Structure 1
C-alpha cells in the first residue's frame, strides 16, 4: 500500500494525460450527434465555473475566519464533524473543505483524528446541495434569479475592496450555479425529443454495479460530486434515467469525489496522504454498505419521504433523502471504528524516518492558505534552530543534555575538554545549509502569492531569523579551532578566557531551550534585552581584561589577538541567536512587550533614547 501511494502522483499524471483526450473526443462526438447535448454540457461547464467562483468568493470573504475556526473547533471528534458539515453546507464545496483540511493537517495545525472527523462531516454537508437542487432548482425558474446575480456580482468583482470582490465572486458563483442548473434542465427536456436514455436502464445487481461505476467516473472527470448530483437529479427529473439507476449513480459520485482528496494528498506530506486514504476508505465502505442494503434503504427512503410530505412520485427529492441517509449511515458505521482507522492509517502510511537534513513542514499543500504557510515556515525555522543549536554545541565540544541538566554551567563547560569528533563543514552543509536553502525557496515562492501584508511581513521576519541562525553557526565555525586547541588541556589564562566564552554561549543555549519549553502565552522577551545588554558589557570587559593581561606579561600579543578575534565571533553568534529567538518565539510585540523592553534598558540606553529621540536598535 505504501509503495502504491508513493507512486500515486505519477499514476495520477498519466491518468490525467490519457483521460483528457478521451473526454474531449467523447464531447465532440456527442456535440455532432446531438445539438441538445451541447446545452447539457454547457450547463455542466457553467455549473463548475460557478463553483470555482463561489470557492474564490468564500476565500476572500472569510478573511481567514474559516481557517481560524478550524483550528479552534476541532479539539473533539463531534466538533470536527460539525465543522465539516457546516463548512461544506455553507460553501457548497466538499472539495474546498478537503483541501483546507489537508493543508492544515500537513502544517501540523490539526490532528489526524480531527481531519478524519471533518471528512465525515463534509460528506454529510455535501448532501445539502442535492436538497437545494431538487427542492428549489427544479421547482422554479431559477434563471430569473441567476441573471440579476450575475449582473451585480460581476460589477462587484472589479472593485478594489477584497470583501466587495469576495461578495461579487460569491454572488456571481451562485448565479452561474443557477444558470448551469437551468441549462442542464432545459437540455434534458429537449434531449427527450431525440434520445431516450432511459432505454439503457439496467436492473438488478449488474445495473447497480454499472451505474455506480458510471457515477464514479463522471465525478472523477468533473472533480465535483455536486456537479454529478445536479446532473443526476436533472436527468432523473426529465425521465432520462430510472430511479434505481439514479441511486447507483449517487453512490458512485460519493466514490468519485475522493479524487480531489487524493490529488491534494499527493502534494502533501505523510499526514495529508493518510487523510486522503481515510477519505477513500470511508467513501468506498459507505458505498459498499449502501449497495448491499439498497433494497432496505429504498424502503426507509419511502417511509421517511412519506413522513415529511414528499410525493411518492417526486423521485428527485427522494434521491436527496437517499443521498442524505446513506451518508449518515456511513458516519454512524465509522464512528465506533475511528480509533482503529487511525491506527490503520498510521501503519499503512508510516511517518518517515527522521532525517534532520530534510524539511519536515514545507510542502506544496500548505501554500493554499496564509495560516498554513506561516505555521509551516515557523515550524521549519524551529527545525533549523534545533540543528543549528546542536551543531553549535558540538562545535564547542559540549553536549546539550549535559548543559540542560547542569546546575553549574561553568563547571560543566570546564569539564567538557574532549574534542568532539565531527566534520563541521559536512554537517553544516548537510543539516543547516540544505534547510536554509529550502526556507529561502519557500519564502520566495510564498512572496509571489497575494498573501495579506501581516503574513508576508511575518514570512520575511522568519526568513531573516533563519539567516541569523546560519550566521551564528558560521561564527562558531571560525571559533571552533582555537576554542578546541586552548581548552582541551589547561594552558593558563588563555584557557580560562576561552572557557568563559564557551560558558556564555552555553548559557544562551540553555535559555533558548527554556524559552522553547515555555508556552507561547507565558513567554517574556525581557531576558532577551537583558542578554543583549550583558553581551555588550562582557565585550567591553573582555577588551579591558586582555589589555591588563598583556601589560602584566601574562599573555603574549599573538594569543591576545587570536582571542580578541574569536571573542568577536562568539559575541556575534550570541547576538544572532538572540535576534532569531525574538523573531521565532514572539510573533507580535504589543504594548506589553514595549514596556518589557523599556524596563530592560540600562541608564546608558535611556540616555541614548533621550539624546536621539528614539529606541536603541534591537
Structure 2
C-alpha cells in the first residue's frame, strides 16, 4: 500500500515537472516572438469570451432555453429549425449538444428528436463564420471592445441577479471582440513570416492533411468557432489559399464531435447513442463535402456572384461554403434519422437488467443543465414511488397485481395467508429502496447549476414526497409483523386486520390513480371508526382480550400514520 502511494506521488511530481517545463518553454517562445504572443493572447481572449457568453446565456435563460429545446423535439423539422436558431443565438453548438445529451439521458426526449436537434445545432454553428467574416474582419472591433469590457467588469462584480448576467454577457462579447482584434494583429505580423501556400492542394495528400489540421485545432481549442476564426483571418491576410481553407473548415466540423464523445464517456447508453449520431453525421457530411469540394466551390462562386459578393471576398465565401455543406448533410441524413436511431440503440443497448440499487435516469450528463437535472430527479423519484407501492402491497400481504391497476377485490383480502410466502419489508427496503434513495439524495447534492425559484421549489417538493413515501414504508414494516402474527383464519384479530388491509389497498389504488388526499384516507378513516367502536363493545362483552385490543389499537395507529404519509405525498404518474 505504501509502495503504491509512493509510486503515485512520484508520478504526480513527474507530471507537474513536465507541466512546468512546458509552461517555461511556451513562455520563452512567446517572449521571443511578440507576434506569436499577440496571436496566442487573442485566441485565449476569444475562448474566454465564448465561455463567459455561454455561462451568461444559461443564467439569463433561467431554464427557458432548456424548455424551448425540449418542446421542439417532438417534430424533426421543427427540432432542426429550433436547434439552428438556438445555436445561432448562443453561438455554441457544444452547449446545444450537451443539452440534447442531457435530455436523452434524463429520459425527457426520444433519440430521433435529439438527433434532429443535433442536426440543427450543426447548421446554427455556421452563423459564427458569417458574423466573423461580415463584421469581425471588416471593422476595428477594439474600439467597441473597451466600453463593453469596462461595463461588463464593473457590473459583474457590483451587480447581482439578472443584471449581473447581463454584465457577464457584455464582458463575454467584449472579450470576443478584443480576441478577434488581437488575432488580426498577430496574423498581420506573420504576413511575411509563415505561409501555407505549400499546401495548395496540388497533391492528393494535402487534402486529408488539411482536414486533419482543422480536426486537431478544434480538438485542442475545444471550439470550432476559434478554428474558423483562425482560418478566416489567415485567409483574409492572404496566408492561406481558398480551397485549403475550405478543407480546414470541414475538419473543424469533424472536431466538434470530440466534445460530444467526451461528454458521453461517463454517461449512460442514451448519451452514447447521441454522441454516436453526432460522429456519424459529421463524418458523413465531411466525406461528402470533401468529395464534392470543387463542385461546391463552383456553387459558392455562382451564388456569391448572384448576391453581389466580390470575387475576392474569400472569408464570406468560406462562410457560405460552411453553410452549404452542413445543409447538404442535413438533406442527406434527414430521411435516415429513424434508421440511425434504431442502429444506435442496437449498438449501445441498455443494460439487460439494471441492478436493484442502480438509478436509471440519474446520469451525470443531466447535471449540466437545470431542467434536465430536475427532470432526471422527477423520473427517478417516480421509480422509487413505484417500488414503494409494491413494497407497501407486500406489507399488507397482498400481491401488487391485486392492488395497483384496478380496484382491489374483497376475495383477495379474505384468501388464506401463508406467512412464509411473504418477504420481510425491512429486508426488501434495504435491498430496493434505501440504495436508490441514497443515489437520489447524492444526485441532488451534486446539482450545481443556477436554479429558478420554481425549480428549487420543485426539487424540495420531490425530496419531501420521496422521504414521506419512505416513511410510509417504514410504518408498513411495523404493520406487516403484526399482520403476520395474526394471519390465521381463527385469530381474533383476523377480521379487523382484513378490513384494515382492504382499506389500505383501496387507498394505495387511489393514490396510484391520482386520487386526492381525502379519497386516499377515507376508507381507512371509516374502518378505524368502526373498529374503535366494535373493540369497545367486544371488551365490555369480554369477547376480546385486552392484550389483543392494545395490539389492534397499535395496528390502527400504524396504518393511520402510513396513510397520512401517503396522503401528504402527491401522486406520481
Give TM-score, length-normalised by structure 2. 0.91
Superposed, 1:56-75 pairs within 5 Å as: 56-75=55-74
Cα shift at 1:131: 0.9
Residues 217 and 194 of structure 1, relative CA distance in 2, 3 Å threshold = same
Structure 1 residues 26 and 291: alpha-carbon distance in aligned structure 2, compared to 1, 3 A threshold: farther
- For 1:450 and 1:60, the matched residues in 2 are separated by 6
**1:104/1:110 contact within 8 Å kept:** yes
Q: CA separation in 2, counterparts of 1:20 and 1:101?
A: 35
Distance change >3 Å, CA 375–CA 23, structure 1 → 2: farther
Moved more, 458-467 or 531-540: 531-540
Task: State the alpha-carbon separation in 2 of the partners of residues 102 and 408 from structure 1.
Answer: 41
Judged with a 3 Å threshold, the aligned counterparts in structure 2 of structure 1 residues 151 and 564 are, in CA distance, closer, same or farther, namely: same
The aligned residue for residue 350 of structure 1 is 349
How far off its partner does 1:547 sit?
2.2
Partners of 2:36 and 2:477 lie apart in 1 by 71
Residue 59 of structure 1: how far off its partner (Å): 1.4
Q: Is the 8 A contact 1:105 1:112 kept in 2?
A: yes
Q: Which residue of 1 aligns with 2:7?
A: none
| 2:236 corresponding residue in structure 1 | 237
**Counterparts of 1:299 and 1:18 in 2: how far apart (Å)?**
52
Counterpart in 1 of 2:392? 392
* Structure 1 equivalent of residue 440 of structure 2: 439
Structure 1 position 255, deviation (Å)? 0.6
After superposition, residues 297-308 of structure 1 pair within 5 angstroms as: 297-308=296-307
Alpha-carbon distance in structure 2 between the residues aligned to 1:244 and 1:27? 32
Task: Measure the CA separation in 2 of the matches of 1:127 and 1:314.
Answer: 17
Deviates more, 1:26-35 or 1:71-80: 26-35
The question of 1:545 aligning with 2:523 is answered no
Q: 1:308 to 1:21 in 2, by over 3 A?
A: farther
CA contact (8 A) 1:47 1:178 kept: yes
Summarize the alignment of residues 307-386 of structure 1 with structure 2, pairs less than 5 Å apart.
307-355=306-354, 356-386=356-386
Q: Which residue of 1 aligns with 2:124?
A: 125
Counterpart selection for 2:568 from 579, 601, 616: 579
Q: Which 4+ stretches in 1 moved above 6 angstroms?
A: 16-23
**Residue 455 of structure 1 aligns with which residue?**
455
Contact kept, 8 Å, 2:148 with 2:170, in 1: the verdict is yes
1:469 Cα deviation after fit:
1.3
Alignment of 1:136-215 (within 5 A): 136-199=135-198, 201-215=200-214
Distance of aligned partners of 1:19 and 1:74 in 2 relative to their CA distance in 1, 3 Å threshold: farther
Instruction: Give the 3 Å change call, closer, same or farther, for CA 431–539 of structure 1 in structure 2.
Output: same
Q: Which runs of 5+ in 2 are unaligned?
A: 1-14
* 1:290 equivalenced with 2:279 (yes/no): no
- Residues 449-500 of structure 1: per-residue CA shift (max 9 Å, x gap): 542233222212211211111111111111212212323x311541111111
C-alpha change, 1:261 and 1:389, in structure 2 (3 Å) is same
CA distance in 2, matches of 1:199, 1:406: 77
Give TM-score, length-normalised by structure 1: 0.85
Taking a change above 3 Å as real, the CA distance of residues 407 and 390 of structure 1, as seen in their structure-2 partners, is closer
Question: Conserved in 2, the CA contact under 8 Å of 1:103 and 1:268?
Answer: no
Distance 1:161 1:537 in 2: 55
Aligned equivalent of 1:217 = 216
Deviations, residues 312-354 of structure 1 (Å, cap 9, x unaligned): 2222111111111111111011011111101111111112234
In the alignment, the residues of structure 2 paired with residue 349 and residue 44 of structure 1 have an alpha-carbon distance, to the nearest angstrom, of 37
Q: Please tell me whether the aligned partners of residues 183 and 230 of structure 2 are also in contact (alpha carbons under 8 angstroms).
A: yes
Task: Tell me how many residue pairs correspond in the alignment.
Answer: 557
- Partner of 1:451, secondary structure, is coil
For 2:151 and 2:49, the matched residues in 1 are separated by 15
C-alpha distance 64-423 of structure 1, shift in aligned 2 (>3 A): same
User: Per-residue deviation at 1:102?
Assistant: 1.5
Partner of 1:590: none
* Aligned match of 1:564: 553
Look up the match of 1:401: 401
Query: Aligned partners of 1:23, 1:363: CA distance in 2, in Å?
Result: 36
